[in-house]
Amino acid sequence: MKDHVERPGDAGTPLLSMRGISVAYGALRANDGIDLDVGAGEVQALLGENGAGKTTLMKALVGLAPIEGGSIEFDGKDISDISPLVARNAGIGMVHQHFMLIPTLTVAQNLCIGLRSEGYPFPNYRKITAKISGLSERYALKVDPSARVADLSVGEQQRVEIIKALYRGARLLVLDEPTSVLIPQEIEGLFEIIRNLSAQGTAVIFISHKLNEVMSISRNITILRRGKVAATRRTSETSAKELARLMVGYEMGDLPAAPAISESSPPVARIEGLRFVDSRKVKKLNGVDIEVRAGEIHGIAGVDGNGQVELARILAGILAASSGTIWLDGKDITRLDVARRIRSGLSYIPGDRQRTGLVMDLSVRDNMTLKLSDRPPYAVHGFLDFGKIRAMVEESIRDYNIDCADSGQEARTLSGGNQQKLVLSRELRSDPRLIVAVQPTQGLDISATNYVHSMLLERQRKGCAILLISTELDEVLSLSNRISVMYEGRLMGTFDRDSADRETIGLLMAGKQHA
């Protein structure tokens, strides 16, 4: 181990030291000789584009990835033959991006799964609850031990995951993109928790695509690029601009702004008086009216859970509105099913790409074929023409630069950015009239985000109408021609881009009509 990397401004042996970690999936080297050091109580950020190998490295650390070579030292002990059990006993805990909780059980029950020490076969819930309360207090992590996980919000579930790791004695906590599922208020809360943990000696590895988050919370930053360490920086000695350059390997230009729409451009989509009451009799939409013109990106800003998802699903034809009318190109499509809406020129980029956007167990090729199985020339006389399909798939992979070994690779194994490119390539190839895009850049790195934005802008220039639903205000503000704010199932107001100011919109998002 002669090539011990000089870590910026640090003395003594680190808590964790990974050396030359390599992980290969088939021919792909997801990690290629990565070194990483984390000191006790430090917040270490991991940055990198989609597919750079961040998750893989962390899975290697907790014994969930097939390590080929390299060594791991934790607290002075060699734990190179890592397994989930070894990692747990050593004190390494990971909160995965997709939570690993059992929804039908309570928090306390979830916490003691697999822990014989808490009473076997009958866990001692009084003791467990007391221990949870202790941890809650110590780190200001609010959790109700007797609540059912299914009844908790995403932010609360995340806290349960963190407590679960701490409960098992974690002294190093890995958080894989913890903020991508949180709303802004919850993000502040999470940062508070991270600061508490760090102050009391727990090290944290923090993964995020958002440079401002990384800049505000971390002490050191390691940037991965294509499975290798591109650079390691002390946070206080770098800038967001430098980080962006290190991540992608080149300077990134700014996006061209969306061209203005003229007053005369015709409306493509009109939504009138849309109401929706869900099965539990909750009013999700209370009379929504929107008009999207040709060549317009109409942004819908709002905090998650104010009816945006329902609006999108109703437009796509997956959910039936309780009342109201949807017009597309002057045609009433309210009663049309999904297939007919697609044929009328509607494209839907769903927010949950792993569930609604893609069939994760099927190949890239099959996922690109999803909407074409009744469309000549790809399907003739009920049979798929694989020659045509292959040509189309290869073209899409090239055009959209999708990083996959071949078109037979399962969608599940693509990185987040490439999964989204796959969805885009499918949804944009048919020259849609109206695109309903929900959180199109969630979990995507900077360059993939830029790419998605540029694809949407290109469509907009071609005269497509785009309804952009996003909880990220920056995204809505920078892309949209007009912006509507949604709160509790109704629109609080609609602004032209020039007249929209952040403050007013922020207040409307919180439901305050007049400040």
Ligand X SMILES: Nc1ncnc2c1ncn2[C@@H]1O[C@H](COP(=O)(O)OP(=O)(O)OP(=O)(O)O)[C@@H](O)[C@H]1O
Give the binding site for other proteins (CB under 8 A). Answer: 49-51, 66-67, 80-81, 83, 226, 316, 318, 337-339, 341-342, 348, 350, 355-363, 365-366, 369-371, 373-374, 379, 382-384, 386, 390, 393-394, 398, 401, 403, 405-409, 417, 447-448
373 binds, among Mg ion, other proteins, ligand X, none (CB under 5 to 8 A by kind): other proteins
Segment 488-494 long-range contacts (CB within 8 Å, at least 24 positions apart): 488/286, 488/306, 488/307, 489/276, 489/283, 489/284, 489/285, 489/286, 489/288, 489/306, 489/307, 489/310, 490/285, 490/286, 490/287, 490/288, 490/307, 491/288, 491/289, 491/290
Question: In this chain, which stretch among 123-131, 166-174, 249-257, 413-421 interacts with ligand X, using CB under 6 A?
Answer: 413-421
Q: Which of 192, 436, 184, 417 is nearest to 309 (CA)?
A: 436
Look at residue 494 and give the partner it binds from other proteins, Mg ion, ligand X, none, a contact being a CB closer than 5 to 8 Å depending on partner kind: none
Q: Is residue 339 classed exposed, middle or buried when 0-12, 13-18 and 19+ CB atoms within 10 A define those classes?
A: exposed
Selection from other proteins, Mg ion, ligand X, none that 67 binds (CB < 5 to 8 A by kind) is other proteins
- Please state the closest distance from residue 188 (CB atom) to other proteins, in A: 32
Judged by beta carbon distances under 5 to 8 A according to partner kind, the member of ligand X, other proteins, Mg ion, none in contact with residue 30 is ligand X
Strand order in the sheet with 172-175: 92-95, 172-175, 203-207, 43-48, 220-225, 228-234
The C-alpha torsion from 359 through 361 and 362 to 368, rounded to 10°, is 30
Q: Which is nearer to other proteins, 56 or 409 (CB)?
A: 409
Question: Residue 424 Cβ, how far from ligand X at the closest point, in Å?
Answer: 15
In the complex, minimum distance from the CB of residue 445 to ligand X, in angstroms, rounded to a whole number: 6
Q: Does 64 bind ligand X (CB under 6 A)?
A: no
Output 43 or 448, the one with its CB closest to ligand X. Answer: 448
Q: Contact, 312 vs 438, CB < 8 A?
A: yes
3-state helix, strand, coil in the chain (%, to 5): 35, 25, 40
Residue span binding ligand X (CB under 6 A) among the ranges 54-62, 163-171, 242-250, 340-348:
54-62
In terms of CB distance, is 260 or 405 closer to ligand X?
405
Radius of gyration of the chain (CA): 24
* Omega of the bond leading into 123 within 30 degrees of 0 (cis): no
Q: Could you check whether the bond before residue 377 is cis, i.e. omega within 30 degrees of 0?
A: yes
Kindly state the tokens that stand for 495: 């602004």
CB 375, min distance to other proteins, A: 9
Binding pattern for the stretch 9-48 against Mg ion, x by CB under 5 A and - elsewhere: ----------------------------------------
> Which one, 190 or 328, has the nearer CB to Mg ion?
190
Least distance in angstroms from the C-beta of 423 to other proteins: 10
Return phi, psi of residue 447, to 5°. Answer: -75, -35
For position 417 contacting ligand X by CB under 6 A, the verdict is yes
- Cβ at position 317, least distance to other proteins in Å: 8
**Which among ligand X, other proteins, Mg ion, none contacts residue 337 (Cβ within 5 to 8 A by kind)?**
other proteins
Contact pick of 55, 235, 425, 441 for Mg ion (by CB under 5 A): 55
Supply the minimum distance, in Å, between the C-beta of residue 64 and ligand X. Answer: 10
Q: Which amino acid is at 238?
A: T
Residue 399 tokens, joined: 């055009």
Q: How far is CA 492 from the centre of its chain?
A: 27
Which of helix, strand or coil describes residue 57? helix
Subset of residues 435 to 454 that bind ligand X, contact rule: CB under 6 A: 445
Cβ-based burial of 330 (10 A; exposed 0-12, middle 13-18, buried ≥19): exposed
Q: Which residues bind ligand X (CB under 6 A)?
A: 25, 28, 30, 48, 50-56, 413-417, 445
Q: Note the residues at the interface with Mg ion (CB under 5 A).
A: 55
